[in-house]
A and B are shown apart, each in its own frame.
Chain A
Amino acid sequence: MSSEERVRRALESARQAVKPIVKQEMEGELVSNELLSVRLRNHR
C-alpha cells in the first residue's frame, strides 16, 4: 500500500470513528423560537 493510500485510509477511518461526536455537536447548534424568547432581566 502506498503511503498516500495509507494516509487516506487513516483519515477516512478516523472520520467514521468520530462521527457520533461530530453529529452530537452539530445537532446542538439548532436554535428554537423558545430560546430566542427567553427574557433576561434579573435585578439585584
Chain B
Amino acid sequence: MPLIGLEYPATDIRVCVFSGDLESFFPKPQGLVESEWPPTQVRYLGIYLGQLGCKTVLVEDHYMDRDYVYDVALFYSRSLRSYPNYCQRLHFFSEAFDQEAWRSHVVNIGSREHAASFLQASYLGFSVVKPLPGSPLGRTVLPTLGPEAQSGAQRSFGAVRPYQVHLAGFDLRVTGLVFQQQDQGVSACATTALWSAMHNVTKAEGLTVMTPAEITEAASRYALPTGRALPSEGLTIQQICEATRAAGLQPVLIPSVSLDHDRAQLLAYLSSGFAPVLAVQPLSGTGVGHAVCAVGLKVHQIKPQTNPNLHFKDRATSVTGLYIHDDRLGPYAAAELVQWTADNGKVRTAVFIRWPDADVPAEQSYLQAIIVPVPSKLRMSLTRIRALAHGLVEAAAVLFPEFADHIVFSCRYQLRHDYLSKAIHFGLSEAGLYDLQCKTVLSRFVGLIEITNEEEPLFDILLDATETLANPSALAIVGRRGLPAKYHPDLRNIADQFAARLIL
C-alpha cells in the first residue's frame, strides 16, 4: 500500500488570460451534479470582473484558507471522501501580462519596487477556490464599483475595509467586504450573510473574526429549532443574534415596518460602517426565508417633505437601493428598495435583486427584519437618536428661517477619533478647535446628528452613544462653516437647552 498524505502537494503560480468568464477555473465535478453548472455565483463573478476590467488571472495552486480549514476540521474531515485541507486562490488584475512578465516581476530584484507598484495598481482582489464539488467559491474580496452609477445615482460603500494579500513576496491590498458561496455543509445563507456582516466590525474592534463553521456552532449551542446543526439547515433570527453575541458583538434587531423607517436605519448603520443582515421572504408568500448582507447604498436626490406642517428634509429619503452580498448570486448585487402593497393590503418594503448585466430583477422579496452586529458599548439606539433629531431639525428650521424647507438632517454613529480628525475642516475658531480636540469628553463612538442646508453642514450634535436615552446625553453642539454668525446666539441657547457644550 502506498504511503498516502506524507508528501507535500506541488504548487506554482500560473498566469492566465481572463476571457470574460471564470468557468474554466472551476472544473465540472464528475458524476451527477444536482444543481446547475457552472454555479450561478461563478457566472456572476465572471460578469462582475468583466465590469471591473479584469484582463489577467493568477492561479495560486496551493493556498491554506483559515475559513476552509475550520470547515474541514468541523465537518469534511469526517466524510468518506478525502477532502484536501488546502484550496487554490485566484488573483485578478486589470492589466494584461503573461507568465514571462510575471516571472520577471518576481525575480528582477532591481525593479522590485516598480513591479510592486504595477501589481498593486492593477490588483482587483482574489477568490479562494475550495475543493468542494458543489460549492467551490470560497472567500472572495473584490473592490466595489465606482461612486457613480449609470443612472446618475451615487454609490456609497460604508461597510468595506482594506484586506492585505501576500502573493510571492508582494504585499497587495484590496478594499471590499468578504463574500463566499454557502456550502450547505457547515453554512447556509444566514451563516454566510452574518460572516460577511461581522468581518468589518470585528476587525475594527480588535476581535477575532469567526469562521462560518464557528458561526454555525455558536448559533446552535443553545437553540436548535431545525433539529441538527450540521449539515446546516439554516438559522433562525434568534440564532443569528446568539452567534453575534458569541463573537463579542451585540445584535440590533429591527423589524421592518415601513420603507421610510427601513431606509433610515440602513442609511445610518451603513454610513457608520456596520453591515446589516437582511432577512427577506419571497413576495409570493411561499417558500423559505433568505438572508443577505447589505454592503452599500444607492442614493439619489433628497425628497421634499410630505407633511405640510414640517419644514425639514430627511437624508434617508435619498436612499433608493442597496448593494448586497447574496450568496446565491454574488458580491455587491444591486437591489432596489420599493414600497409594496401585499395581498392583505399591508404596505411593506420590497427588495428587488438584480443581476449586474440585466434590468429585470432576479428575485423579488419583502424585507422582514434588519439585524446589525454592533460593538457592545454602542447602546443608544438609532431610533432614539432620530427622535431627538426630528425635534431639533424642526426647531432649527423655525429659528434659522433662511434655511426653512431646505434644512436636512441625518444620523449615524462615528468613532470619536474619526470625527476629531475631520474637525480641522469645520471652519471652527482656534479656541473652538482646541475646545473640541482637548477639552471635550466624547465616547469612543458618538451618536452624530448632522444638520445641513443641502450644500454644506450647519451644525452637529454629538451624543454619548454609551447612554440609553438620547435627550440627557448631548455632549456637544458643534457649529459648522455653513451657519452664519448671526445665528450663533440661538445655537448657544439650543446648546444650553440640551445641557451640551457649544463649540464654535
Contact = CB atoms under 8 A, between A and B. Distances in A.
A and B together in one complex: yes
Given A3-B493, A11-B494, A28-B258, A41 B234 contact: yes
Interface in A1-44: 3-4, 6-8, 10-11, 13-15, 17-18, 21-22, 24-32, 35-44
Interface in B274-320: 279, 281, 287-291, 307, 309-310
- Among A18, A22, A28, the most chain B Cβ lie within 10 Å of the Cβ of A18
A23 to B, nearest CB: 9
Q: Chain A at the B interface: mostly helix, strand, loop or mixed?
A: helix
Interface residues of B, number: 57
Contacts of A11: 391-392, 395, 494, 497
Contact of B289 (A8, A10, A27, A38): A38
Contact of B369 (A4, A21, A38, A42): A38
Given A40-B188, A43-B328, 4 more contacts: A6-B490, A17-B310, A40-B279, A41-B190
B386 interface: yes
B390 A22 contact: yes
B381 to A, nearest CB: 7
B243 to A, nearest CB: 12
A25 B189 contact: no
B35 interface: yes
A44 B40 contact: yes
A7 B387 contact: no
A26 B385 CA distance: 11
14 contacts: A3-B489, A14-B395, A15-B391, A25-B387, A29-B255, A35-B369, A39-B225, A39-B226, A39-B236, A40-B288, A41-B226, A41-B234, A42-B287, A43-B189
Contacts of A22: 386-387, 390-391
A1 to B, nearest CB: 12
Contacts of A14: 390-395, 398
State the 5 A-B residue pairs at the shortest beta-carbon distance, nearest first: A41-B234, A42-B290, A28-B257, A14-B394, A7-B493
A6 B270 CA distance: 37
B220 interface: no
Contact of A10 (B40, B240, B395): B395
- Among B258, B264, B381, B391, the most chain A Cβ lie within 10 Å of the Cβ of B391
B235 interface: yes
B253 interface: yes
B247 interface: no
Nearest to A8: B497
Contacts of B368: 35, 38
B494 A40 contact: no
Nearest to B261: A28
Contacts of B211: none
B35 A18 contact: no
Contacts of A41: 188-190, 226, 232-235, 288-290
Given A28-B255, A35-B369, A40 B394 contact: no
Interface of B: 35, 40, 182, 184, 188-190, 193, 225-226, 232-238, 240-241, 253-255, 257-258, 261, 264, 279, 281, 287-291, 307, 309-310, 328, 368-369, 381, 383, 386-387, 390-395, 398-399, 489-490, 493-494, 496-497
B494 to A, nearest CB: 6
A40 B365 CA distance: 13
Given A7-B399, A39-B234, A26 B383 contact: yes
A36 B369 CA distance: 10
Given A7-B493, A26-B387, A37 B288 contact: no
B310 A35 contact: no
Contact of A3 (B188, B392, B398, B490): B490
Contacts of B287: 42
- Among A24, A29, A32, A41, the most chain B Cβ lie within 10 Å of the Cβ of A41
A26 B279 CA distance: 20
A7 B396 CA distance: 9
A40 B310 contact: no
A38 to B, nearest CB: 5
A39 B235 contact: yes
Nearest to A15: B391
Contacts of B193: 40
B255 A31 contact: yes
B381 A43 contact: no
Contacts of B494: 7, 11
